[in-house]
Amino acid sequence: MIGDIENLRIHFYGVQGSGSVFPQKEERDYIRLNSDLELLNKAFSKLQEKTNANNTLNCSVEEILGGPVNAESLTLFRESLEPQEQPVFGGWTTCFRLETSDGYDIVIDCGSGFRLCAQDLEKKWGDKEQRTLYILGTHAHFDHTEGFDQSNVCFDPRNHIHFLANRSYLTSLDRHLGIFSHQANRKDEGRPTPLNYEMMPASFESTEIRDIAKDGAEDNPMVSQYHDVGEPIKIGKTTIQPFSVFHPDPCLAYRIEHNGKVFVFCTDHELRRGDDPDFHLQVASLDAEQRLVEQAMNADVLYRDGQFLRDEYDAKKPLGGAQGVARKDWGHSCIEDVVDMAIKANVKHTYIGHHDPSRRWSELVEIDQDLEQQSKTEGRHFELAKAETIIDL
Ligand SMILES: [Zn+2]
Ligand SMILES: [Zn+2]
């Protein structure tokens, strides 16, 4: 996308949940069949326009194509049919980038999508000598951190990378890489990476987001400074309000506001479908859901985890296997609940992501079509999040 950034430009690099996926042959065949059928349908409709009263073609192949049968004229003919783009639902795990009207780059999470995000950043920065990147972390799970040390941005001394995240996220990056504390234990067995901070010439800074009133601040070599979770973070003209959601690992969501435009990012949050309203996990989940509704109230755009359908969560329907598996306390929400929540919070446009890696492409297409229907009924927009989406707010 080109043009000035009016307020916020949001890039979706990774919307896949739990693990990266590449479509298998069956799914690739499904995608190809659908796009071939769409194109053939348009081509034959066009041919029908050129038939005479006897239903016979009255022109040559060259006339139809606008030239001889070769790559050039076939490409032009194909373009004239305006083929529909096939949606790319998944692929890489969680990574988003915001570009702000006042020139900041703010990344959310470093799942495997961060590798591509970093390539775009390097391209954008070009010869710039001083580069600062802000990264908001949500939580420590691998699908939100795995792309970090695979990215170019770690290896350029001109780059300063400032993480703002909870203790768990900062620890997951520092434990083996030592980027904040410079204390990586390289003798540790079972390290998930061959790299460490000494091989990464970029500079790193960490702000730990925590409940300072409750937990206080402490002297920790990993933390450059502390930020209270109840206070907004200011980056230029952008105001970011962190808030905690319900997940097996402590997880933060963010309400991001710029010139009155609001984007709420909430990955890995479970609206628990339990029977006992007094059970402590049920109470914690409902509290977090309430917080989310308040923070998302009247938002322009919401990105929200909807990994399962209710029947899959409740083990009534299989997902990627022969039998249903109960998904309670896995930390993810149901698509139907996300829709209900977005209506309650009066959100204009909701992107539902963190797709399950076992979800088949054809199912994603069906769910997306259902969401399109619901959007018409509800007068607001719901859709499955698609990688490579870029939106301007
Ligand atoms: Zn996740
Ligand atoms: Zn998680």
Per-residue pLDDT tens for 261-311?
999 999 999 999 999 999 999 999 999 999 999 999 999 999 999 999 999
Q: Kindly write down the DSSP assignment for every residue of 285-313, as one continuous string.
A: HHHHHHHHHHHHTT-SEEEEE--B-HHHH
Contact predicate 285/328, CB 8 Å: no
Q: Could you tell me the two tokens for 295?
A: 């923070």
Query: How many CB atoms sit inside 10 A of residue 328's CB?
Result: 13
Return the percentage of the chain with pLDDT > 70, whole number: 98
Nearest bound ligand to CA 331?
2
Ligand 1 center to 268 CA (angstroms): 5
Nearest bound ligand to CA 139?
2
- Cα 209–Cα 306–Cα 262 angle in degrees, nearest 5: 55
Ligand 2 center to 318 CA (angstroms): 21
Ligand 1 center to 253 CA (angstroms): 12
Name the pLDDT band for 23 (thresholds 50, 70, 90). Answer: confident
Q: Could you tell me the two tokens for 250?
A: 């402590």
The rounded radius of gyration (Å) of the Cα atoms in the chain is 24
Ligand 1 center to 17 CA (angstroms): 5
Ligand 1 center to 138 CA (angstroms): 9
What's the chain's average pLDDT? Answer: 94
Ligand 2 center to 252 CA (angstroms): 11
Tell whether the torsion through CA atoms of 386, 326, 108 and 160 is positive or negative.
negative
H-assigned helices in 102-230: 114-125, 167-177, 212-215
DSSP-derived 3-state class of residue 94? coil
Name the pLDDT band for 249 (thresholds 50, 70, 90). Answer: very high
Summarize the confidence of residues 309-336 as an average pLDDT. 95
Q: List strand residue ranges (DSSP E) for the chain, in order.
A: 8-14, 95-100, 105-108, 131-136, 159-165, 203-210, 225-228, 233-235, 238-245, 251-258, 261-266, 301-305, 349-353, 381-384, 390-392
- Which residues 6+ apart lie within 8 Å of 225 measured at CB? 207, 208
Express the helix, strand and coil content of the chain in percent, nearest 5 each.
35, 25, 45
Ligand 2 center to 331 CA (angstroms): 7
What's residue 2's pLDDT? 63
What's residue 186's pLDDT? 67
Ligand 2 center to 4 CA (angstroms): 35
Ligand 1 center to 52 CA (angstroms): 59
Ligand 1 center to 45 CA (angstroms): 45
Query: How many CB atoms sit inside 10 A of residue 276's CB?
Result: 9
Which tens digits make up the pLDDT trace of 60-115? 889 888 899 999 999 999 999 999 888 888 799 999 999 999 999 999 999 999 99
Ligand 2 center to 354 CA (angstroms): 10
- Residues by chain with Cβ below 5 Å of ion ligand 2: 141, 268
Nearest bound ligand to CA 143?
1
Nearest bound ligand to CA 109?
1
DSSP-derived 3-state class of residue 112? coil
- The yes-or-no verdict on residue 184 having pLDDT over 80 is no
Which tens digits make up the pLDDT trace of 340-380? 999 999 999 999 999 999 998 889 999 999 999 999 999 99
pTM score: 0.93
Nearest bound ligand to CA 305?
1
Rounded CA separation 347/302 (Å) = 7
